[in-house]
Amino acid sequence: MTSPTSEQLTISTEPVNTEKGKITLSTVEDFPPGDRRQVKVGAAIIAVFNINGEYRAIYGRCPHQFALLSQGRLQGTVICNEQTNWETEWAYDGEILTCPGHAMEFHVKTGEAIGYGFKLRTYKVVVENCMVKLVL
Ligand code: FES
């Protein structure tokens, strides 16, 4: 996947609606696969992605120099470990978010910073009555 265009990146500082513990982001129809959102919740920025129909959310600021992760490219990464019998293998296609600042990689599903031994916070996203909602 490539970096988002300005049309693909919706900056939402005002959630559509809120209910206890959830923020309504959009209708499912208006948040198709490949699309993304950036949501400001208090002082926090959260990046929300639709990866092949699966909604995922991750803390939206890179811990290195605070680049906005919602502007990063989604792709895969090369792994080489015991599970791959120490052979290099392309993995997690479309699930690895590359920071637009200096290319640190994060697995959107787990929050793991690839190769750094820490994780960013992830958030649950649910669909209720055809509405996409971020669970806080
Ligand atoms: S700001 Fe993300 S790697 Fe530097």
The residue whose CA has the least distance to atom 3 of ligand 1 is: 102
Mutate which of 62, 69, 73, 120 for ligand 1? The one with the most ligand atoms within 8 Å of its CB, which is 62
Q: How far is the CA of 116 from the centre of ligand 1 (A)?
A: 13
Ligand 1 atom closest to the CA of 65, numbered from 1: 1
Q: What is the pLDDT of residues 14-63, one digit of tens each?
A: 555 567 789 999 999 999 999 999 999 888 999 999 999 999 999 999 99
**Domain boundaries, given as residue ranges, for the chain:** 9-135
Q: How far is the CA of 103 from the centre of ligand 1 (A)?
A: 6
CATH superfamily of the 9-135 domain: Rieske [2Fe-2S] iron-sulphur domain (2.102.10.10)
For residue 3, give the DSSP letter: P
Angstrom distance (rounded) from CA 60 to CA 63: 9
Ligand 1 atom closest to the CA of 62, numbered from 1: 2
What are phi and psi for residue 71, nearest 5 degrees? -95, 5
| Single-letter residue type at 66 | F
Rounded alpha-carbon distances, angstroms, from residue 90 to 2, 95, 127 = 17, 12, 30
SS3 content of the chain, % helix, strand, coil (to 5): 5, 50, 45
Q: How confident is the model at residue 10 (pLDDT cuts 50, 70, 90)?
A: low
What are phi and psi for residue 70, nearest 5 degrees? -65, -15
Q: What percent of the chain has pLDDT over 90?
A: 79
